[in-house]
Amino acid sequence: MQKILPGVVILLLLSACTPRVEVAVPDKPITINLNVKIEHEVRVKVEKDLENLFDEEDSIF
């Protein structure tokens, strides 16, 4: 009995320390925002138009 008791105590302590991992489904749907690419394209187009305008009209500045 004296040899079994420490083994049982160690087993109980180790089983109490096992990590628990849960996988849960989110309540809200996942959304992906793609506005970054659209804003980038608009900005590039505006910058190109401004460069063309400055090249054509030297008297602006």
Would you state the pLDDT for residue 18? 65
Decide if 60 contacts 53 (C-beta within 8 A): yes
Please write down the long-range contacts of 24-32, taking CB distance under 8 Å and 24 or more positions apart.
Answer: none
Would you state the pLDDT for residue 39? 66
**How high is the mean pLDDT in each 10-residue block of the chain (61 residues)?**
80 73 88 70 81 77 60
Would you state the pLDDT for residue 57? 72
Q: If you compute the radius of gyration of the chain from its CA atoms, what whole number of angstroms results?
A: 33
Would you state the pLDDT for residue 55? 81
Would you state the pLDDT for residue 46? 83
Q: Is the dihedral of CA 51, 55, 59, 61 positive or negative?
A: positive
